[in-house]
A = this chain, B = another copy of it.
Amino acid sequence: MHIEIWSDVVCPWCYVGKRRLETALGRFEHADDVEVVYRSFELDPTAPRHGTELSTGVIARKYGRTEDEMRDMQQQLVDVAAGDGLDLRLFETVHTNTVDAHRLLHLALDTGGPALQRELKEALLAAYFHDARDVGDHAVLTEVATGAGLDHDRVVAVLDGDEYAGEVAADVAQARAFGATGVPFFVVDRRYAVSGAQPAEVFERLLAQAWAESHPVLEQVTATGEVCGPDGCAV
């Protein structure tokens, strides 16, 4: 079974949704046969390459709210995330660009498969939300990526060039084609879609349903026609 998750590194609900899917997978008997791949989604492609401003102020302006109102909303999100075991330092995160983080996530998938990509995805989310680091900064990205197990020279080469930019753009286009306007956006076997950080129970039901669908009992379409068997050929 194949799960694709469109997600951004700076998206708190993506982090929460990741934990809830992991909870569901922990309870799913066929979890070893489930492959999870992260797809790129950029919440703000226009964000600066280096984070110089806190996210709270930028989002407050977008919403047309005061920073105090914004912080109240963020606090609600922090409280929900705490219930999922996540300690988000949401007020300290910086507004930054994620295209390079996504390019490295593609490098990880390309060179180490879903297992390495998963390591990097978790490390990037933790770096941003837990350590409040600038995941647009190349020094930060290099440190996080090599820490997750990626090859140092390949990381530097990818960051210096524009490798995997096409893959990132293709992911974003595919999300749009699927009608996704926000993330996280989960797609199972290119057949079922779930939008948002749903409760673990929703993911559990989805996994069970998709598993049953992908392991059908063979269906005999019509009555048997003319066959040859051990005792000869019917005419």
Residues of A within 8 A of B (CB): 8, 11-14, 16-17, 43-44, 59, 62-63, 73-74, 76-77, 80, 178-179, 181-185, 187, 190-199, 202, 206, 209, 216, 218-222, 224-235
Does the CB pair A228–B193 fall under 8 Å?
A: no
Which of A74, A179, A221, A235 is packed against the most chain B CB atoms within 10 Å?
A: A221
CA distance A232 to B44 in the complex (A): 10
Residues from chain B with a CB closer than 8 A to the CB of A76 are 235
Q: A191 to B178, Cβ gap below 8 A?
A: no
Shortest CB-to-CB span from A6 to chain B, Å, is 10
With contacts A11-B233, A73-B235, A235-B76 taken as known, whether A182 is within 8 angstroms of B218 at the C-beta atoms is no
Q: Lowest 9 CB-CB distances: which A-B pairs, in order?
A: A196-B225, A182-B227, A182-B229, A195-B224, A11-B228, A198-B225, A196-B227, A76-B235, A197-B226
Nearest chain B CB to A206's CB is how many angstroms away?
Answer: 6
B216 touches A191 (CB 8 A): yes
Q: Which residues of B contact A194 (CB under 8 A)?
A: 220-222, 225
A216 to B192, CA, bound (A): 9
Do A224 and B206 touch (CB < 8 A)?
A: no
Residue from B195, B220, B222 in contact with A225 in the complex, judged by beta carbons closer than 8 Å? B195
Q: Contacts A191-B216, A193-B218 known; A63 to B228 CB distance under 8 Å?
A: no
Given A191-B219, A227-B195: A232 and B13 interface contact (C-beta under 8 Å): no
Chain B residue, CB-CB nearest to A220:
B193
* Cross-chain contact A196 with B216 (CB below 8 angstroms): no
Chain B nearest Cβ from A222, distance in angstroms: 6
CB distance from A62 to the nearest CB of B (A): 6
